[in-house]
Amino acid sequence: MIRRAGEHLRLEGEVSFDTVEALLPAGIALFDVAAVVIDLSGVEAVDSSAIALLLAWIRAARSAGRELRFTAPVAPLLKLARLYGVTEMLRFPA
């Protein structure tokens, strides 16, 4: 689930093949400010589709002229980003 948490967005729960189809448009619908920040600390489980989701959100934000930044990625998400070589693209810690 993605929801507004104050000035930021918060991604929570499982991010997997079963959930990304709904998360993609739900997230994009909330990109209503110039600088979008998504807190990832509430993510409980991931698979490789989580990386695809984050990259798709980056593309959508850029297309809409928005800046997108992720904060507090959980360890499994960091591991996947490192595995796929996209930590820099996602602006995750090295």
The full DSSP string for 51-71 is HHHHHHHHHHHHHTT-EEEEE
Q: Is the pLDDT of residue 20 over 70?
A: yes
- Give pLDDT tens digits for 23-79: 999 999 999 888 999 999 999 999 999 999 999 999 999 999 999 999 999 999 999
Determine the Cα–Cα distance for residues 25 and 6; give it in Å rounded to an integer: 20
Single out the residue of 28, 33, 34, 27 nearest to residue 10, CA to CA.
27
pLDDT at 5: 83
Query: What pLDDT score was predicted for residue 59?
Result: 96
What pLDDT sits at residue 80?
A: 96
Do 38 and 1 meet the contact criterion of CB atoms below 8 Å apart? no
pLDDT of 65: 93
Asked whether the predicted pLDDT for residue 94 surpasses 70, the reply is no
2-85 maps to which CATH number? Answer: 3.30.750.24
Nearest to 57 by CA among 65, 49, 68, 46: 68
Residue 6 is predicted with a pLDDT of: 77
Alpha carbon distance 91, 94 (integer Å): 8
The length of the chain is 94
